[in-house]
Structure formats: C-alpha cells, structure tokens
Structure 1
Amino acid sequence: MMRLFNAGLEDEKAFDWGDVFVLLLLVALLYGGARLAFQAPEVIQGPTISLSPSMLPYYTLRSVGRMAGAYLLSMIFTLFYGRTAAYNRTAEKVLMPLLDVLQSVPILSFLPVVLLGLSALLPVSLAAELASVVLIFTSQVWNLTFAWYQSLTTIPRELREASAIFRLNTWFQFKTLELPFAAISLVWNSMMSWAGGWFFLMAAEIFTVGQRDFRLPGLGAYLHEAANQQNMQAIGWGVGALVLTVVLLDQFVWRPLMAWTERFKVEMVESDTPPTSWFYDLLNGSRILRWFGQRVMHPFMEAIDRFMLRIEPPGPPQEKPARLSWPLRLGPVAVGGAGLYFAYRAVLMLLTMAPEHWAQVALGVAATLARVLIALLVALAWTIPVGVIIGTNQRLATLLQPLVQVIASVPATAIFPVFVLLLVRLPGGLNLAAVLLMLMGTQWYLLFNIIAGASAIPQDLKYTARLIHLSRWERWRTLILPGLFPYLVTGAITASGGAWNASIVSEYITFGGKALHTVGIGSLIAQATAAGDYPLLLAATLSMILAVVLINRLFWRRLYQTAEERYRME
C-alpha cells in the first residue's frame, strides 16, 4: 500500500556547526534582552479590567485581532522558511537546527526579557502589544512550518516528474503542486495553531513582573481577573464568549476551508462522504461572489502569473543548490561574531551563579523530562485511535470536529485552578496536576496532525484494503500507521516542545494569592522571573533549550529522516 524506498540521503549528524551557530545567536539575544531589562521602568500601571459582560465583545475583538495578526505572520514565515529548508540543502543545515532550537525555546521564560527590553525602548502599551503578538506567533508557527516542510519533502515522485515535464517555474510549482498537496495538513495545523494560540494569548494578556503590570484588555485578562476575584459568573461569561468565538470560526472559516481542500486529495476515487459546509455552499451559490471572481480575482491572478513568468521563464526550479550567495554567506559570519561577544558576556553572567543553583537546574531538567515523557505517552495512547476515527469517518467528524476545536481552544490555564484544588491534597498531587496541564496544553498537536494524516489517506487505498479482505490489524500495519507516520512525527515534535513550554505554567501555579510549585525546570524559570534573578533565568532557559535540542537531534530528527526516506504516498 505504502511504497518503501530509500532516497539515499546522507546520514544526519547529531550536532554540527549549524547547531553551534544558532545556540550562540540565542545566547546573545537572551543576554542582550536581559541587559535591556535592567533599564525598564521600575513601576508600570496596568489597565483596569472590567468584569461587565457588556465589555466582552470589545475584549473578544482585541484578542481575535492579536491572534489574526500573529497567524498572518506565521503563514508568511512558514511558506518562505519551510520552502527554503526543503529545497536548499546548504541552507537546510542551518535552518532545520534553528527551527529545532526556536520551537524548543521556552517562550514564557523569554517573554519577561522581551517585554522588559521593549519597554525600555518603546511606549509600554506598544511594547506589550508587540510582545503578545510575538508570543502568539511562536505558539502558532512551529507546527505550521514543520507540517509545510514535511509536505514538501514527501510529495510523490510522479508529481515532481509531471511538474518537470510541464516545465513549471517556482511560482507555478508552488501554486499548482506544493500548496495543493500541503493544503489538508496546513488547514488542520492552522486549526491547531489557533487552538494553541488561545493558550498563550491568555498568558500574554495577564503578564506581570513584580510591580510592572503588562496586562492587555482581552479575553485572557478578563478570565484571569474573574479567577482572581473568584467570580464564577464572570468566569462562565468569559468561557462562554471564548466557546462562541471558536464555534463561529469553525463554521465560517475552518469548515469551509476543509470542504474546499477536499479537492486536493491525492486519490483516484472520490470519498463517499466528503466534508461539507453550509457556508461554503452558500458562497458558491452567490452571484455577486461569482461575478467578483470572474471580473476581479481571475484577471488579478492572471496578471500575477504573467508577472511571475517575466521574472522566471518556464522551467523546473533547481532544488537544493550547493552554494549560497555571498550576502547569505557573510551575514552568518557577522552575526556569529556579534554572537560570540554576547555569548562571552552571558558566560560571565552565568559564572555568578552558586553551585547549588546549577544542581537545582540539573534536577529540574530531569524532573520536567520525566513529566514530558509521561504526558506524551498518555497523549499518544488516545490521540491515535481517536484521530483515525475522526479522520476516516466523515459523519463522525462532522459531529466531533467542532467539539474537539472548542475543547482544544479553551485555555487550560483558565480552568486549571479547579483541578489544582481537587488534586493538591492527594499524594504527589502537584506533580499529577503538572502532568495534567502539560497534557491539556499539548495533546491537541498530536490529535490534529493525526486527523490530517488519516484524512489524507486516499480513498482508493481504503477500498483496496477492503477488497483484499485485510484484517483490522493488517489494515493498521500496512496502510493506516505508515500513512500517519510523517504526520505523527510532526505532531510529536511540536507536542513535546509545547510540553516543555507548558512546564513553566504547570510547575509554578498562583491562585487566590498563593504560589504552589514543584521541582522542575519550568518552576525554576517561573521563580527566577518572579524574583528578577536574571542569571538563574538565563541558566534555566538555556538548559531547557539544550535538553530539547538534544532530544530533537538525537531522536525526532532521525524519525523525520525515516519518514522522508521510507513513508510517502507513491
């Protein structure tokens, strides 16, 4: 069913100079932000958050606006970054390690440095807005980029050969082959990006550092204020507004996109029950939109096509050139030099730490790693069967998809205090609560990717499996699991990275004016942030990044290479 083949790719090293370069760059950025943080105002007054239900439409629009802005930046970054990494082997040696590092950066520990640094340079309100968009961007972009890269590297060879026969240039190959082939995966990962974005939006809108209040008007600030005042009615109004927003987005954005992308499935037989959308059907029947498409959009797209043909004549684009242009070669040298200087300054800062603090960091990394593994195993145990059921049964998907989106989009930080109150009195209760919050925040990365993988399995292969009377186990072994494998790796990479990030809010919890914490690197980062201990914050953050990068390079990247070499639809 799934063709196994060896692409003859080079064995990938666990670490190379690309990793060293990006780690030095990250150390430099962390140090530079920490130095700027010392110049931030000592006291910053935050806005007053009203719990009146009449303010919810305004707060919702502010939150959705931040999400939309971050998502637009994420898609632009994804399309350019993922394509460059997939088709330029020299750039890939730097870009993919950099992507591993970036998706593992504990952004909630980086946020105070970003906020304090920006507030030293810009007005506080603008700095807070920019920092919130950056935080949401980092929660949305990595799974999109990994999904786009995975799609480009698993396009069937016969489709590549067809594009070469038709002499498609870069633009037409992107428009007619790459984007359609990746459409299903991008739509499902976009839904996941928005669901994950809500989680981090709440954190971005309620951020405070000592006497510096960086809160922003929005749904997150509303829910946080309601929880602090223990106003259950206001919590209900806030969660209700969030659920309504998610349902509206599902009906007016995601479901129409799913119905539209069904045409791009690589299959010879059409599905019996394709995705449907009443809003998509309504738009298709609109004469005004049809006139707009014929008179405006069609001529506009033709003009773009002619322009792109003038820029690049017909012919297949050259993949993975051996050399980079001189600006791309000199740029890393200049940045690397600056990175070495700031890395030296960062080392001097780290040398001020006491030995017992380094022991706490090592113990914290080990404890958090154990929780991440438990959360990932639990997530895999239920998301694989449930994701396959939703992805292969359209009738069931029609019922469950909105429910899954709503549950995934409700930020765990909004309802987590309830679980803490229930679990904290049990033996090991806070450890159990920390694993639960990691699971609530990251299992959806797996589920949405598995649904996308199951949805992309061609209908003709499913019919063939039935015709030759494969048993249920044989169908899973020869069709479903090989078809899911690339999507499963993508989901697992982003889920594990998200679990490490979630440790910062799951291992150190404030509720009702009290702080509860357990042993873990996330707890150390949160404590260092609250105390303004920048050397400990830098050490804990870099330790988490190094741990995640090592796991990605030694384990996940090898699975990615296996997916590219052995499991693709051919």
Structure 2
Amino acid sequence: MKKPQLTFRQNFDPQRSGLRSLQWVDWLVLIGIIVLIYAGVRLAANAPAVVTGREISLEPTRLPWYALFSILRMLGAYLLSVVFTLIYGRVAAYNRRAEKVMMPLLDVLQSVPILSFLPVVLLGLSAILPQNIAAELASVVLIFTSQVWNLTFAWYQSLTTIPKELREASAIFRLNSWLRFKNLELPFGMISLIWNSMMSWAGGWFFLMAAEIFTVGQRDFRLPGLGAYLHEASLQGDLQAVGYGLAALILVIVALDQLVWRPLIAWSDRFKVEMVESDNPPTSWFYSLMSSSRLARFLGERLFSPLNERVDRWLMRRFPVEQEERPPSRWQMWAGRLLAIAVLVLLGYGAIRAVLMLTQVDGSEWGQIGLGVVATAVRVGLALLIALLWTIPVGVLIGTNQRFASVVQPIVQVAASVPATALFPVLLLFILQLPGGLNLAAVLLMLMGTQWYLLFNVIAGANAIPQDLKYTTALLGLKGWQRWRTLILPALFPYLITGAITASGGAWNASIVAEYVTFSGKVQQTTGIGAVISHATDQGNYPLLLAGTLVMVVVVVLINRLVWRPLYRQAEEIYRME
C-alpha cells in the first residue's frame, strides 16, 4: 500500500521564474554601479599621498577599550542594516513595479566585491573628509555590506512566502500597514531574521580585521579595535598577544551569544506557525531570568506597554487602511520622466568616462582577468559544494534537536565569528607545504568565510518547521530519506537558496584575500580574479582595479540571474507551506 505524502503548494509560473536573460533594468543598474565605482576611483586619485595611522598597543589592558570600539562599529553597521532591510525588503516584496528594479539592484550590490571597492571608498572619503572620520565611515560601510545582504534576502523571502490564509485574515480584519507589519510580517519573519542577524554579526567579525587595518602604500588607515590588535600581534610575531586578542574576541562572542542571541532564539519560538506546541522549545537562562524579574515586569507594565499603545494609536492615524492604488497624476508622470531623463544623462556621461578609463587596460590584462574568473569560479563552486555537504545535516540536527543545539550552537557561533583572516597566516604555514599549496588554501579560506551563511539559514529553516507537520510525518510512518524528501528538504528549500545566494557572493568576495597573500614578507598568489584585483590595489593600477571589479560584478550578477533567481522564484511559488 502506497503511503500518503505531505505536499507543498504547486503553482509555478515560468514567466516569473527568472528563466530569462538579463533585462534592460539589470543593465541600467549595472551601468549605475560602474559610474559609482568610476566616481570613487576619480576621488581616490585626489587622496593625500601620505597618511599616518594610529599606534596599536599590544598591552592587554587596552583590550577592553579595543573590544568596545569594535562592538560599537559592528552595532552601528547592524542598526543601519536592519533599517535598510525592513524598508527595502518590504517595498521589493509588495511593489511589483519597484521589484523589477530593486531586486536586480540587490543582486548587483551584494555582488560588488567590497574588499576591492574598499580602497576606492576609503581614499575617496579621505579626499573630502578628515582622515579619522573617513576611516571610521569606511569601516562601518565595509561591515554594513557584510551584514545587510543576507538579512535583506531573508526578509524578502519571508514576506513572499507568508501563507495565503494569513494574508486573507489580515485583509478581513482591515489591518493597516503598521498593524500588518507588527502582527503578521515581522512575527512571521522573526526566526529567519534572528538567525540571519547572528550570521550578519559573524560575517561582520570576518570583515572587521580588514576594516580596521587597511593600508594603501604610504597611506595607513588603521583604527583601534580587536581586528587591528590581532593584525599587529601577527605582524610582530607575538603569539602571547595573539592569544590575548583571540581570548578577548571569543569572550565577546560568548557574552553576546548568552546575553543576546540565545534569549532572542528562546523568545522567537512563540512565532512558529504551528498548531501544536513543540516538545523541546529552545531555552535561555538569561531569558528566564529576565522573564521572572519584577523590575522587568514593572517596566513592561508601566513604561513599555503604555508607550507601545501610544505608538500604535499614532501610527494607525498616520497610516490608515490601504486603499486601491491610484494612478499617478499628470504632473507626477512628467516629474518622473524628467527625473529619469536626468538620471540617464548622468549615467551616460559617467559610463563614457568609465569606458575611457577601461581603454587603458591592455589585451594581456584582459586575458589575465578572463582566466582569473574561470579559476575563481571553480574554487567558489567547490567551496559551496563542500559547505552544502556538511551544513545541511548538521543544521537540521541543530534546528530540530534542542539538547544537541544547546551544546553545539554556542560552539558554532564562536567558530563562525572568529575571523578566518586572523587564522589564515597560521594555516598557511602548513598548507603551503601540501600539494596544491595556495590553491587549496584559497578554497579553505572561501569555505571558512562563507559556509556559515548556509549553516545559519539551514538552522533557521529547520527551526521553523511546524511541530504539527513533524507529528504528521511520524503518524504517516515517514522515515529516513522519505521524510527528508517530503518534509525537511522542501521546508528548507527557501532558506537554502537565501543562504546559497549570500554564500556565493561571499565566496567571490573572499577570493580577494584568499588568492593574494603577503606572508613572511613575500607575496603568495595564485591565478584568480581576486588576485588580479588585489595586485591592482597594491600597484595603484586603478584602470585594472576598475576592470577586475566590474568583471567580477557582471559574472556574479549573471550567476544570480540565471541560477539563483529562478530557484528563488521556485521557492516562492512551489515551496510555500500553507
């Protein structure tokens, strides 16, 4: 007798799947990015010739201050990321006309290799701002770009997969945009947002070292922080200071895990879409302590609840129930056309100037770029394959087994947050002696920097599987591969695609530090587009830097549009649980 199977929504429209070549919007967005990069390169040429960085002390007593500076930079970038995510993702999810521009733009932005663009941003800002302010802004921008894309994709994915019956219920109750956001959208996406926030902080730690130790020739933009401390200790070969720095970093990560992330995970369990309560909900000693605190209860009743009601009343008056969208007036249409013409003229002028700069790149350099793209693509594909092989089973185990998660999840959080760039010089001592040398090391660094995007999204997906569906599979006798095929993999699919998009972009970005390494006073490099970009940065070859960056952006955008975007549409249309 054939066993019944659980099914997901089957309504796939190939016209919306993205199974098409790049559209005019993609090219327009790409031209805009080219113009921005060119403008940054032109500003960078006017930066001061010599910049003196701040002294980094290796005294252990300085570590608390360095840790505070690093946390503040991370927090500032994270708050910017959350604001950007909530606004950008919501507009893209609900406005189909805006989505045609916003999602290609998001594809391009998350594809820009910020480690190659950082010199342009930093030198450009230093040309118009004081050095300290320019360095701080550039570091926040770099950390922001390492945190924001996976958050935005996760939020967009959550909004586009809200079950139809929940949307209909919000319409029946005539919830305005604020109440719908507060009572439906944010709760539905909360689990994914929290796990991706943890990943964003882990990714931010990865880029923190690059953000705090940046140098270009005679220009030194070092900033006081944990990343700068670890780098300075590595340069001086002070293993004791390296140990102090890593201990301080791990202590900060563990404190954040116990005081912030674990309580948030325990609190977010209430937002699961399920009919039956979980047998083993996630727990947190700090969350339990705060829940039983009389002071917290007093503040909630006397301060936060009245404040929340006032905010609700104010926003309900400001955002009434949405009516049908009205067509734009004639003057709005003309204003939009004039603005579009002005933007096109500006983009056209900037594109022409960028093309003139690209003509300075000779044929041999273009051939080097083409060969480098192929080599880096092979490494990226290998890193993603290895990451998928281990993150899916481990992530599902962490997301479904709370006893296992209570032990392993803090370890994973620490491992994901330790910047691979801090450990890479130590690993090179051993890897360069093995067959494959830097090729193997490059794949390893890409893996260390990107596998966590997949793991945290798999954990979020497994954690969000409703308990009633788990009971249903047990009642139907589904076990082993049949259970994976009918419940686990379909439920994980949207989260896997979100993780794969950001992991792929992160792997391409990591190639810049993985394929071109300065070790023991010597430059170690291998064939790859990341090595081309890093070499151009070291030599101050701005035309080659522009060419290499643009080629990487175009390749990653093509992969996103032709591979990941169709899969994203499938996740939205087929694997929505309702």
TM-score for both structures, normalised by structure 1: 0.98
Matched, 1:154 2:156: no
Question: Matched residues in 2 for 1:481 and 1:330: separation?
Answer: 49
Which residue in the other structure is 1:277 paired with?
284
Q: Look up the SS of the partner of 2:162 in the other structure.
A: coil
1:507 correspondence with 2:519:
no
Q: What is the match of residue 96 of structure 1?
A: 103
Give, in angstroms, the shift of residue 235 of structure 1. 0.6
Residue 297 of structure 2: SS of its match in structure 1? helix
Amino acid at match of 1:121: I
For the Cα contact (< 8 Å) 2:76–2:140, is it kept in 1? yes
Whether 1:338 and 2:346 are equivalent positions in the alignment is: yes
Distance in 1, Cα, partners of 2:198 & 2:110: 18
Higher mean C-alpha deviation, range 90-99 or range 459-468:
459-468
For the 8 Å contact 1:372–1:438, the answer to whether it is kept is yes
Match of 1:497 in 2: 505
Which of 236, 247, 267 is the equivalent residue of 1:240? Answer: 247
1:143 aligns to 2:150 (yes or no) = yes
In structure 2, the residue matched to 1:185 is 192
* Cα deviation, residue 283, structure 1: 1.0
Residue 532 of structure 1 corresponds to which residue in structure 2? 540
**What are the Cα deviations for residues 378-421 of structure 1, in whole angstroms up to 9, with x where unaligned?**
00000000000000101111111100000000000001111111
CA distance in 2, matches of 1:329, 1:496: 37
Q: How big is each residue's C-alpha offset from its partner over 1:319-375, in whole Å with a ceiling of 9 and x where there is no partner?
A: 9x8879656665444333212111100100000111100000000111100000000
Residue 49 of structure 1 aligns with which residue?
56
Partner of 1:4: 9
For 2:387, the equivalent position in structure 1 comes to 379
**Deviation larger for 2-11 or 61-70:** 2-11
Q: 1:35-184 maps to which residues of 2 (within 5 A)?
A: 35-184=42-191
- Given that residues 171 and 308 in structure 1 are in contact (C-alpha distance below 8 angstroms), is that contact kept between their aligned partners in structure 2? yes
Matched, 1:353 2:361: yes
Question: Any conservation in 2 of the 1:59–1:218 contact (CA below 8 Å)?
Answer: yes
Give the drift of 1:7: 5.6
The 3 A distance-change label for structure 1 pair 53 and 277 is: same
Deviation of residue 195 (structure 1)? 0.1
Q: 1:331 to 1:569 in 2, by over 3 A?
A: farther
Aligned counterparts of 1:471 and 1:92: Cα–Cα separation in 2 = 40
Q: Which amino acid aligns with 2:15?
A: E
Counterpart residue identity of residue 149, structure 1: Y
Query: Structure 1 vs Structure 2: percent identity of aligned residues?
Result: 67
2:376 is matched with which residue: 368, 375, 379?
A: 368
**Cα contact 1:25–1:336 (8 A) shared by 2:** no
Whole-Å separation in 2 of the counterparts to 1:340 and 1:380: 42
On the 8 A contact 1:25/1:335 being kept in 2, the answer is no
Secondary structure of 2:48's partner?
coil
- 2:488 paired residue among 451, 461, 480: 480
Q: Deviations over 1:111-158 (max 9, x none)?
A: 000000000000001000000000000000000000000000000011
The AA in structure 1 aligned to 2:302 is R
Displacement, 1:311?
1.7
For the residue of structure 2 that corresponds to 1:457, the secondary structure is coil
Using the alignment, how far apart are the partners of 1:169 and 1:329 within structure 2?
Answer: 31
C-alpha distance 462-16 of structure 1, shift in aligned 2 (>3 A): same
TM-aligned CA distance change 1:7 to 1:555, over 3 Å = closer
Once the two structures are superposed, the pairs formed by residues 301-320 of structure 1 within 5 Å of their partners are 301-314=308-321
Query: Given the superposition, is the C-alpha separation of residues 330 and 66 from structure 1 closer, same or farther in structure 2, using an over 3 Å criterion?
Result: farther
Please list every run of 5 or more consecutive structure 2 residues that lacks an aligned counterpart in the other structure: 1-5
Is residue 2:69 matched to residue 1:31? no
Farther-moved stretch of structure 1 (58-67 vs 302-311): 302-311
CA-CA distance at 1:313 after TM superposition: 2.4
Would the alpha carbon gap of residues 9 and 355 (structure 1) be closer, same or farther in structure 2, given more than 3 Å must change?
A: closer
Equivalence map 1:394-413=2 (5 Å): 394-413=402-421
Which residue pairs with 2:566 in the alignment? 558
* Alpha carbons 1:259, 1:280 under 8 Å: kept: yes
Contact kept? 2:21, 2:561, Cα under 8 Å: yes
Q: Show structure 1 runs of 5+ residues with no match.
A: none
Q: Is the 8 A contact 1:90 1:323 kept in 2?
A: no
Aligned to 2:226: 219
Q: Give the counterpart letter for 2:140 in structure 1.
A: V
Query: In the alignment, does 2:475 pair up with 1:467?
Result: yes
Q: Which amino acid aligns with 1:413?
A: T
How many angstroms apart in 1 are the aligned matches of 2:328 and 2:390? 45
Deviation at 1:56, TM superposition (A): 0.4
CA 496–108 in structure 1, closer or farther in 2 if over 3 Å, else same: same
RMSD: 1.4
Secondary structure of the structure 2 residue equivalent to 1:447: helix
Alpha carbons 1:2, 1:568 under 8 Å: kept: no
Deviations 1:487-536 (A, max 9, x none): 00000000000000000000011123221110100001000001000000
Please show how residues 386-397 of structure 1 align to structure 2 within 5 Å.
386-397=394-405
For residues 82 and 332 of structure 1, do their structure 2 counterparts lie closer, same or farther at Cα, with a shift above 3 Å needed?
Answer: farther
Partner AA of 1:415 in structure 2? L
Q: How far apart are 1:16 and its partner, in Å?
A: 1.1
